[in-house]
Chain A
């Protein structure tokens, strides 16, 4: 594996269903992510973007092909190894998935708490600091129900980045946001990622954010049909 790459996937095939209902979702996908890069994965609905994201994010088992993430082979990795790898990743979901019973700070603390050796005080301090970086210093004790859509997504960004992940996987993070909020969230993600050396793979079909990408991969019918380097 090239040390400049954080992820290398080659000959990736994936199927869903069994028997007659078995359907192939990915066809011979090859993908590399350079350390610290900001990559956008585009494509129409059903093109396989989400499947790529779940495979790279250690959320599904690799069926066919090779995936090396953070210098570890995902093929044949145990559940415990996959869980340990996921702790080194940051996830941002389309629906932000904040815990409604936790304050903004507590939600961000959850992004740290699975790491051993982080005290409560350290986690609290880091969470408040991360919320400050995303411009929510005055919302640290707010519950998600009292935040706007853009603010919730910014909390999700803080939660994904607070543990200094090696790779952030973001799935349509701007889909539910207006133009300004979308631009704000993506800029934030890129700026904070760059500052921390974090690699980002962002799945979207939102053309408004393409100009922020270092690289754009286009996926159609389970195949990568275009790679555009901009960095």
Chain B
């Protein structure tokens, strides 16, 4: 390592030699940087997981345009939309089909602990609006009280999920009714529920008698192939005489939902602050280590100043130390962070895990912030006055 650094810097790797001279302190410093990395990884992992969980329900559908109530910031909130606008939208020459989407949480009564399922009420004869992985089974929902169940739902055992087939359906109690799951799909737990479930719009209205078939949560539209989505949205805006409605491309609705969850919902803001705190903790740890190291070697630095070493040399040494700490602290941080995220993902069934982009961005952040800490720590070098050596 020493030779490698000497080749890189073209001088004795003073920073490396200083750091490794006291191995206990070096190990403690690396542990500190690794700890900060783990903090950032966990918070980022949760934040990314929230993003993935937010976008997950959008992946179950295929649509070009979504019409939502004006106060709808996310797929799961906001008021209803009058079905009449679906009929009105069908008047547009580019709109080929439309479907009302109903959405609510259903509590599966399991005795000690219920499973909360984000439930979509859809038209079972319109598979074109549903992800092909699910659409093939959509006809099963034509039977009253039939469901397609999320096999990755939290609280559902693998054995239970594996046994759900059209030949061996699973009956269960929810909302005071007996529902029957005929098949499953891969959903996954989210922040708003333990999993997902598809039912027909008629079954949905049976589960929620207060809801009306005339007022779905969202309206999904499909356009003819090659149609200009933005132009269609503009025309629909003129066609539909309720200016409070949000008419957006389906992709834009998903992006708006994500932005809303990350920047305006308390959970997103809390996890964002968690990342910030992790970064600040790392910054303080690296600064403390470097600053103590500079203070401990002030006499040696003053000696080098007397010998004719310029400011660039000292900056280089402190940056060298910052890079060593940042890079070597990152490796155990990555390993532990990956382990913790994997464990949390298994326990919560949330899409938690280490990604290459996350590892790369945290690595770059670690190096940049370590260098920043080093830059702050070099201010203490000014105290190294060679005239004081005599």
Residues of A participating in the B interface, judged by any CB pair closer than 8 Å: 50, 53-54, 57, 59-60, 80, 83-84, 86-87, 89, 91, 93-95, 97, 99-102, 106, 109-111, 113-114, 120, 171
Asked whether, in the complex, the Cβ of B313 is within 8 Å of the Cβ of A114, the reply is yes
Total A-B residue pairs with C-beta atoms closer than 8 Å?
A: 67
Per-residue CB proximity of B17-37 to A under 8 Å, as 1/0? Answer: 110110000000000000000
Asked whether, in the complex, the Cβ of B307 is within 8 Å of the Cβ of A87, the reply is yes
Asked whether, in the complex, the Cβ of A100 is within 8 Å of the Cβ of B387, the reply is no
State the CA gap A80–B14 with chains docked (Å).
23
Q: Is the interface of B mostly helix, strand, loop or mixed?
A: helix
Chain A residue at smallest Cβ distance from B386:
A59
Q: From residue B301, how far is it (CB to closest CB) to chain A in Å?
A: 9
Asked whether, in the complex, the Cβ of B387 is within 8 Å of the Cβ of A60, the reply is yes
Other A-B pairs, 9, CB within 8 Å; known A91-B389, A100-B21: A54-B387, A59-B390, A86-B306, A91-B303, A93-B389, A102-B14, A110-B12, A114-B309, A114-B313
**Which among B11, B306, B389 is the interface contact of A113 at CB below 8 angstroms?**
B11
State the CA gap A59–B302 with chains docked (Å).
10
Residues of B participating in the A interface, judged by any CB pair closer than 8 Å: 6, 10-12, 14, 17-18, 20-21, 297, 299-300, 302-304, 306-310, 313, 386-387, 389-390
State the CA gap A171–B386 with chains docked (Å).
13
Across-interface contacts of B389 in A (CB, < 8 A): 91, 93, 97, 171
Q: A53-B390, A113-B11, A113-B12 are in contact. Are A86 and B300 (CB under 8 A)?
A: no
Asked whether, in the complex, the Cβ of A111 is within 8 Å of the Cβ of B306, the reply is no
Q: Is the interface of A mostly helix, strand, loop or mixed?
A: loop
State the CA gap A60–B385 with chains docked (Å).
10
Across-interface contacts of A99 in B (CB, < 8 A): 14, 297, 300, 303
Asked whether, in the complex, the Cβ of B21 is within 8 Å of the Cβ of A171, the reply is no
Across-interface contacts of A110 in B (CB, < 8 A): 12, 304, 307
Chain B residue at smallest Cβ distance from A82:
B308
**Which among A94, A101, A120 is the interface contact of B18 at CB below 8 angstroms?**
A101
State the CA gap A84–B11 with chains docked (Å).
19
Across-interface contacts of B306 in A (CB, < 8 A): 57, 59, 86, 91
State the CA gap A110–B297 with chains docked (Å).
15
**Which among B6, B11, B300, B307 is the interface contact of A91 at CB below 8 angstroms?**
B307
State the CA gap A93–B299 with chains docked (Å).
11
State the CA gap A68–B10 with chains docked (Å).
34
Asked whether, in the complex, the Cβ of B387 is within 8 Å of the Cβ of A101, the reply is no
Across-interface contacts of B304 in A (CB, < 8 A): 110, 114
Q: From residue B319, how far is it (CB to closest CB) to chain A in Å?
A: 17
Across-interface contacts of A91 in B (CB, < 8 A): 303, 306-307, 389
Chain B residue at smallest Cβ distance from A93:
B389
State the CA gap A95–B299 with chains docked (Å).
10
State the CA gap A120–B8 with chains docked (Å).
12
**Which among A95, A97, A100, A106 is the interface contact of B12 at CB below 8 angstroms?**
A106
Chain B residue at smallest Cβ distance from A55:
B387
Asked whether, in the complex, the Cβ of A86 is within 8 Å of the Cβ of B308, the reply is yes
Asked whether, in the complex, the Cβ of A106 is within 8 Å of the Cβ of B390, the reply is no
State the CA gap A56–B222 with chains docked (Å).
87
Across-interface contacts of A60 in B (CB, < 8 A): 387
Across-interface contacts of B386 in A (CB, < 8 A): 59
Asked whether, in the complex, the Cβ of A97 is within 8 Å of the Cβ of B14, the reply is no
